[in-house]
Amino acid sequence: MRSPEDELAELEAASLRRHLRAVDSPQLAHTQVAGQSLSNFASNDYLGLANHPHIKQAFIEATELWGTGSGASRLICGSLPPHRKLELYIATSKGTEAALVFANGYATSLGALSALLRKGDTVILDKLSHASLIDGARLSGATLRVFPHNDLNKLSKILEQTFSKKSTDARVLIVTESIFSMDGDHAPLADIIALKQKFGALLLVDEAHGLGILGPTGMGLAEQLDCAKGIDLQMGTLGKAAGVAGGYIAATKPLIDLLTNKARSFIYSTAPPPSQSHAALVALQLIRSPEGSKLRQKLWNNLQTFADATQTPLPASAIIPWHVGPSAQALELSQTLQNTSALLVPAVRYPTVPRNTARLRITLTAAHSTQDIQTLAAALLHHTA
């Protein structure tokens, strides 16, 4: 039998071993790691809401009112007012009949895909879809097809093949992200919607990295492109730009009812703390308020500062991939930036990204100062020249 030590040694040899980084301060633009203060370019807290005074206050007040735990799963006795109000607010903001909230985004992907699909159905994913979506697709037992990243010719071919032989009641679900988590680029949502309508497939779009960043009220890429009506299942997480935790699906009432009945990660799991849902509600309200617009503007100004300083195009989102290639080299660059310039910029490697496409994953937030970004740009240019 293989030993855990052997397996770890293999990972080590391939520069694929991972270690927990002990962070000793709150999630802010500057963070304390092993006694060193680092500029934090690793966080998905894009608007700096994870330490916002109003959201912290909301969390505390909801705890005073509702206690720390929900006591049971939502279907038993855990369906408390903060959860229901959050779902109502998400549905209203997304322009859907209903919404369902899960403990986190991972549980949302797993629960939703395995509930919607079964053996005989087909799920068609963009190649760069997040691990949680792939896991949910596998768990469902449906036939899994993958199209090369944003390649709609290939998607169209797969749809043609699938619909030419599918049984009448089989479901076909297209799955994509709006903003891709490791590349920061956009999906061509309008064209995907046109295809799904042409064939009569369903479409799920994960806005994990679009929420808070894009759209007039920060609801994501679908809001920005004004195409939310063409998406059957609008998914997202409340743990990134919203600065709290949780995952959601916004959809028609029958689809939400079906998930409530069949999503096992929803049914067989204690409801998240009521304070989590209340804080997430306040965070979403803030994202949609004039203050949210200001934070978005600040984030986009920061992205422009980065583009100017590195003489690169304006990034498409808060995520900037700095391509390196080999895993060992990406790790080394990340370490050099930490040692020489006090920068926290994580290397991402296989299996998070395809083999030999290791990179630094830089995330900018509204909380960074111009100076933080100038320092980052100068260090990147200096060490990758």
Ligand X SMILES: *Cc1c(COP(=O)(O)O)cnc(C)c1O
Residues that bind ligand X (CB under 6 A): 104-106, 109, 130, 132, 177, 181, 206, 208-209, 237, 239, 247
Token match 């633009």: residue? 29
Q: How far is the CB of 365 from ligand X (least distance, A)?
A: 15
Sequence-distant contacts of 135-141: CB under 8 A, at least 24 apart: 135/109, 135/110, 136/109, 136/110, 136/111, 136/112, 137/113, 137/175, 139/110, 139/113, 139/114, 140/113, 140/114, 140/116, 141/117
Shorter beta-carbon distance to ligand X: residue 70 or 109: 109
Sequence-distant (6+) residues with CB within 8 A of 242 are: 49, 211, 212, 280, 283, 284, 287
Residue of 83, 94, 209, 278 with catalytic role: 209
Residue of 181, 275, 277, 334 with catalytic role: 181
Whole-number CA gyration radius for the chain: 21
Among this protein's residues, is 64 annotated catalytic? no
Residue of 52, 94, 240, 278 with catalytic role: 240
Q: How far is the CB of 30 from ligand X (least distance, A)?
A: 23
- Angle formed at CA 173 by CA 109 and CA 254, multiple of 5 degrees: 75
Q: Strand locations in 93-201, DSSP E?
A: 98-102, 122-126, 143-147, 172-177
Shorter beta-carbon distance to ligand X: residue 188 or 326: 188
Q: How far is the CB of 177 from ligand X (least distance, A)?
A: 5
Q: How far is the CB of 280 from ligand X (least distance, A)?
A: 11
Among this protein's residues, is 253 annotated catalytic? no
Among this protein's residues, is 240 annotated catalytic? yes
Residue of 39, 43, 44, 129 with catalytic role: 44
Identify residue 149 by its one-letter amino acid code: H
Shorter beta-carbon distance to ligand X: residue 44 or 96: 44
Q: How far is the CB of 181 from ligand X (least distance, A)?
A: 4
Shorter beta-carbon distance to ligand X: residue 107 or 256: 107
Among this protein's residues, is 169 annotated catalytic? no
End-to-end CA distance of the chain: 46
Shorter beta-carbon distance to ligand X: residue 248 or 306: 248
Residue of 83, 130, 186, 368 with catalytic role: 130
Reference 231, options 256, 206, 214, 208; nearest CA is: 206
Residue of 45, 206, 232, 372 with catalytic role: 206
Among this protein's residues, is 209 annotated catalytic? yes
Q: What is the DSSP string of 91-112?
A: HHHHT-SEEEEESSHHHHHHHH
Among this protein's residues, is 177 annotated catalytic? yes
* Residue 270 CB burial class (10 angstroms; 0-12, 13-18, ≥19): middle
Residue nearest to ligand X (CB): 105
Shorter beta-carbon distance to ligand X: residue 183 or 206: 206
- CB-based contact 241:213 (threshold 8 Å): yes
Q: How far is the CB of 130 from ligand X (least distance, A)?
A: 3
The residues assigned a catalytic role are 44, 130, 177, 181, 206, 209, 240
